Structure 1
Amino acid sequence: MIRVDIHTREILADTRIYVARPGPNYKFYELFVDRNFVGPDLPGLDLPAFDRLAEVEDFMERVKRSVAIRRYAVRGERDIPVPAADLADYVDAPTSRSIAQFARVARAYFSTMKAGDLIIVPPANFRGLAHIGELTGPPNQIKATYPNLYPGTPLQGRNVAWRAVLEKAKLPAQALDALQKPSALFLLTREAWPAIFRRAYGSYSMPGEYGARFEITSEKFQTTDDFLIQAFFNFVSKNTELVQAGSDDLLSLRDGAFAAGGAAPDLYTNVNSPGGLSLKSLIVTPIVIAVMLTLAISVGVEAYAAAEAGTLVFGNSQAPAGDQCTVEVSNQVVTQLRLLGYDRWSEACEVARSAAEKTGISTTVAVGN
């Protein structure tokens, strides 16, 4: 029995990706990362328990008090009185533009942002590591943390599970451009999402889009190495198209390497010692490629025997049991192995293993017994 975990995250249609600046001048970067925390720079907000944020009737008074505490903590040489603790003292206080902005950020954290949404926390240094995390609970599941900047007055925010890191300079251009403005929190433009999904999960599926990432660990990456990898990618891409069309006449690697045409997924390359290759497509091809490559490298010709015997079993640790992506990938891989036969699959395995030896190429797909 050979068990394959396609390890593909199912992304819901309403999932969003945000970028959060960790406090003034990125001062809370280490705090956020170490505490698995993200939240607004509003010390002493002290939100009570709620189901929906709209239930907190004194929300604006709490924001005004927090802004006053924040200004007092960072006052420098200015002579500012100690902020009043009683919320009643803020009922008639004016709502400035900055207070309104803080309120919008707080509403985003405690009302808009859902469990499963991704959030990027960048460092100040362009060579530092931006952390990509996933919100783990609903908006009303509040977490507190205590920064040194605000003694005795905690920040409230959300728990986050870090999924990946990426050098800040390599963030999508849309994120870097937006970070030039002093926004505390912003929604990343949709066109930049696939790159973040691939970085966070390796492989992902969402309505009308599939993606997979392939890590390259070798210090050297030559044109001959790239040729072997692209040959395998094209071979699987073309045969995926043929299987979808109902054909039982698949191509060998030598033929398929030059026949992918429109069947090939979009390719994104960054192999700067080390780096990675990423694929994106409207159909399941990138994930089929990831599974076939992993089987070729780690199992070899035995994968063909398992497909013939019905002992090649598929699952997905990143999605509910029986998810459609796993079904599609399973059908594609088993069909391709059976139709390729021992000799053609053996040839493909040799090329894949040669590429792996030279580049260290790997996927998030897991194979075991």
Structure 2
Amino acid sequence: MKRPTIPDLAKAAGVSVSTVNRVLNQPKSVRSPTQERVLAAAEEIGFYGLGTIEHAVKATRTTHHLGVLLQRGSRAFYRNLGDAIASAAETFGSHKIELTLEFLEDLSPEKVANHIISMGERCEALAIVAPQHPLVADSIDAVLEQGVPIVSLIGPLSAKGNISFVGLDNWKVGRTAAWAFDKMVRIPGEIGVLVGSHRLRNQEMNESGFRSYFREHNSRFSVLEPLPTYESAAVAREHVETLLTEHPSLCGLYISGGGVTGAIAALRAMPKRDDFVAVGYELFDDTRAALIDGTLSMIISHPMQRFARETVATLIKAKIAGRYGGAHRVAFGFDIYTPESV
């Protein structure tokens, strides 16, 4: 076959021959969408000068220095989220992204606040997972004052300045979990609740939605006071063991956040009960196994790939919009898994 020529490429891209020549020799004189169209056409037809076009187009792309601060890297959920965001940044359309991805093991407000300020000095836009605390709010405002936009992930945050948000509608998450108990539990009774921290606003909203469903639809359930696990599997296990001892008629457990593997271990250690329902969060190896063996009845999970893409897209939008561009809010649907769907 005859190898594609510049006129062939121009025809495939829907542009003139002179435009293709300018992409090759003077790429800065061609609008970015046109450059990308020519590049895509060159890939499609196998144009012999593909490497030259790729180099020319990439050289004119704006570099976005983005930062993402996640919680403990020892937790599977945050490792998986970090991997997904890194992958999304590498393949995000026509944008050139330099990503700074960091995990924070010490979740004390002082450490979180200091790390936010540190990353704000090194990045043009910053996404964070953090507790609601005055020190954290002050650090966010300090970064915003420097013209660096902040995007809150998973749970919304409040400060004096505008903070964008990417995550689930957490009130709906709680309502959906409550619906599951209402439909699966045979005899309504007491339900235990675990949260990672009372300062994580997504879990606070989960609990609010959870309780509101029962107030509206089935008041025969009694929701116990939530127990904080401080994101520790050991603490979660201890809480569940205590709940099962002090509330022998407990009909279910809602693990809204923090230490799900510890809760699973405690549930596995108790005698199997067909009338007990446990709803957990996030699908990874341990929770998937707990679904399969019947320890968990249902899992509510972030769609990881979409979460990652929306995070990168919102960081870029916030950076381009500038200091006075306002906050962006992206809430997307969640995945539901049962023992029959994994």
TM-score, structure 1 as length reference: 0.25
Instruction: Name the one with the larger helix percent.
Output: 2
